[in-house]
Amino acid sequence: MPTGHAAPGVFVIALAGLVALAVAMGIGRFAFTPILPMMVADAGLTVVAAGWLAAANYLGYFLGALTAPRLAKNWAIRGGLLLIAVVTFAMGWTHDFVLQLVLRLLAGIASAWVLVHVSAWALAHLLRLRRGDASGIVYAGVGIGIAVAGLVCMATMQLQLPSDQTWMLFGILSLVTVLLCWRPFGADRTSASQSVQGNKRERIQWDGDKWRLMACYGAFGIGYIIPATFLPNMAHRYIGNPLVFGLAWPVFGVAAALSTLIAGRWLATMNDRKLWAVSYAVMATGVVLPVLWTSLTAIMLAALFVGGTFMVVTMLGLREARRVGGAGATTFIALMTASFAIGQVVGPLLVSAIASWQYGFAAALLLAATVLVAAAITLWCSVPHAAEPAYGHCE
């Protein structure tokens, strides 16, 4: 019998993964989005500066993805969650722009550590338990975190709290929430550490299909990040009431949470790559809507379409990485995440570069939609390379 704690059950895996991703992604990655209109109003933040802050976070995400395979699971997840709480609180403590860039960089690094290791840990256990449908619960954590972050920002705007106090509040909430999922990520320590060490030694056998998956997941970074970063600010252009324009982000988050639950439970028999391609087509529709129809309704629909697909794509992309990566799954998940992160760095910098041009923002959205459509076609044509669903539900 191996030493160490017993492996956790399905409920513990799903709940711990949900809470960890809610903090890592909902706050560490995306709390900046609903706070952005507040920072514009009370701190004088410009769109160009916002683009640089977003890009710093995404660059950190890239660096975190590259370094994640070198870390043990319990250190990566626990340490990453604590770091997110500290640097989020510090965003409200300082108004120095250079220091804020560093803080957003660190938040991105920590977020990638958590996502890569939670994904590898949860998917491996759920595959062993033949309960892949529960992966939808794990990834619903991102949408739940986003929705909660949006609702908190709506509340602080109504209470007329400044953006710095809102950042500090998020830091405190993160720390409290981390304590709720602290114990499970120290469980099955021996088997998890052996798994990570095995993944580090295992060389990935590269082929055309792996490069195709990397490129299509990188397209996801460019395609979704522009609306994901600027949706509340876009809504603010049409209406000043925070109770109305602030709804864009909670709608985005709720759609993300529900989408993974639906995909994990009721669409589990559909080929992952076909569902991934369809999700890209829906996402591209949401990205281009604000260009073709300049209204608050179009922005809310964009939030629904993009929010309702971006976590499904994350779940499907990382499940495919887990499947084709084999013994080197953690490393390949990390490389897929790094590819995605490169696209995320490009997106905000593109907005910063052309935001001052006439129709510059519309051009950025159209380019993002085009990239998504190209990736959807590529994925659909690659279906013969994909296996039938390996994450089916067992009653």
pLDDT digits (tens, 9 = 90+) for 237-291: 655 555 565 676 787 788 888 888 888 776 667 788 999 999 999 999 988 887 7
Give the pLDDT confidence score for residue 395 in this predicted structure.
32
Two tokens, residue 294: 């300049």
Buried b or exposed e, range 226-240, using 16+ CB within 10 angstroms: bbbbbbbbbbbeeee
Q: Please compute, for residue 314, the number of CA atoms within 13 A of its CA located in the half-sphere on the CB side.
A: 34
- For residues 191 and 7, give the distance between their C-alpha atoms in angstroms, rounded to a whole number: 9
Is 125 within 8 Å of 13 (Cβ atoms)?
yes
Segment 38-73, tens digit of pLDDT? 888 887 888 788 878 887 898 899 999 999 988 888
CA of 208: how far to CAs of 4, 211, 248, in Å? 40, 5, 39
Domain ranges of the chain: 10-385
Give the pLDDT confidence score for residue 187 in this predicted structure.
54
Give the pLDDT confidence score for residue 237 in this predicted structure.
60
Of 347, 306, 342, nearest in space to 61 by CA:
342
Instruction: Output the pTM of the full model.
Output: 0.80
Q: Is the dihedral of CA 360, 365, 368, 369 positive or negative?
A: negative
Give the pLDDT confidence score for residue 246 in this predicted structure.
62
Give the pLDDT confidence score for residue 268 in this predicted structure.
66
Is 80 within 8 Å of 114 (Cβ atoms)?
yes
Give the pLDDT confidence score for residue 233 in this predicted structure.
59
Low-confidence stretches of the chain (pLDDT < 70) are 1-7, 187-202, 228-246, 248, 266-268, 348, 355-356, 360, 385-395
- For residues 157 and 153, give the distance between their C-alpha atoms in angstroms, rounded to a whole number: 6
Give the pLDDT confidence score for residue 192 in this predicted structure.
42
Give the pLDDT confidence score for residue 385 in this predicted structure.
60
Give the pLDDT confidence score for residue 343 in this predicted structure.
83
Residue 362 three-state SS: helix
With tokens 């990570």, the residue in question is 196
Q: Please compute, for residue 209, the number of CA atoms within 13 A of its CA located in the half-sphere on the CB side.
A: 17
CATH topology of domain 10-385: Growth Hormone; Chain: A; (1.20.1250)
